Amino acid sequence: MAGILPSGHTYKEISEEETERLTKKFSYLSDGGINIQPGNSIYAKSYLKFAELIYNFEVREDDIFINTVAKSGTNWIAEIVWNLVHNPDMDNPEASLSLDYRYPFFDVDFIFDVSSSPKFDPEGELVKRFKRLCPGRDYNEGLHIQLAEALPDPRLLKGHTPLSFWNPNVLEKAKHVRLAWEKRNNPNLLFLFYEDLKENPKSQIKKVDQFIGTNRSDKQIDNIVHCTSFDYMKKKSKENSPLSFDGALCETETQLMLNPYLE
């Protein structure tokens, strides 16, 4: 099996022998994988089901995308942005809900069978929100992608899918918080270093605040520094662990950082 993705990339299915070899290290390929060029990316074959939905995702001018390399502080910056937009005074009751409720995570739909997760609750808040915003639709056809389409403005979205897999209008319209050096001069993109955020979170949060136009007061910035500290977030995740923190997906995210062809 081979073909062309909506983005113009070509793909070729990995052989059964190669899949068997790679699955020993990379469990997300257990149902088959594809090699995508250019870039030599290895994706689960299930990506093909969602490639067109991702490429044709309709971007709004006030969307904020967080698009990062896996395991590089995605949830940290996601919490910072969410609190800047929705919780500067620490009085939003949704702050206690998991990030998966507050942020559609595109990659989950194609690298992980959401409904098979031991932490997935078909009667939980995430599914209730899906049923409310997407009545009559099937979450197995893309829970997070469909939620993202239905969210009210401003939408906060996150994922690890390379920018080149999306429609070119993504950068033309939406603001991005993305680690992508080659695109650093684009006015709709903010480039952050994890080390800078760790060393001086307040100055970096102010930079994000200015970029997305929330214009929070110094006291509100201090609130966000506190509620997005490592200690605070660790305590919060223990009390209400999001789906993206469960063991299977954490393992998958770690694997996605690696080149499967490296021995």
pLDDT single digits (tens) 204-260: 999 999 999 999 999 999 999 999 998 898 887 766 655 543 444 444 444 443 444
CATH classification (class only), 54-104+152-253 = alpha beta
What value, to the nearest 5°, has the Cα angle with vertex 58 and ends 55 and 63? 110
Ranges of the chain with pLDDT below 70: 112-119, 173-182, 238-263
Residues of the chain with CATH 3.40.50.300: 54-104+152-253
pLDDT at 117 (0 to 100) = 64
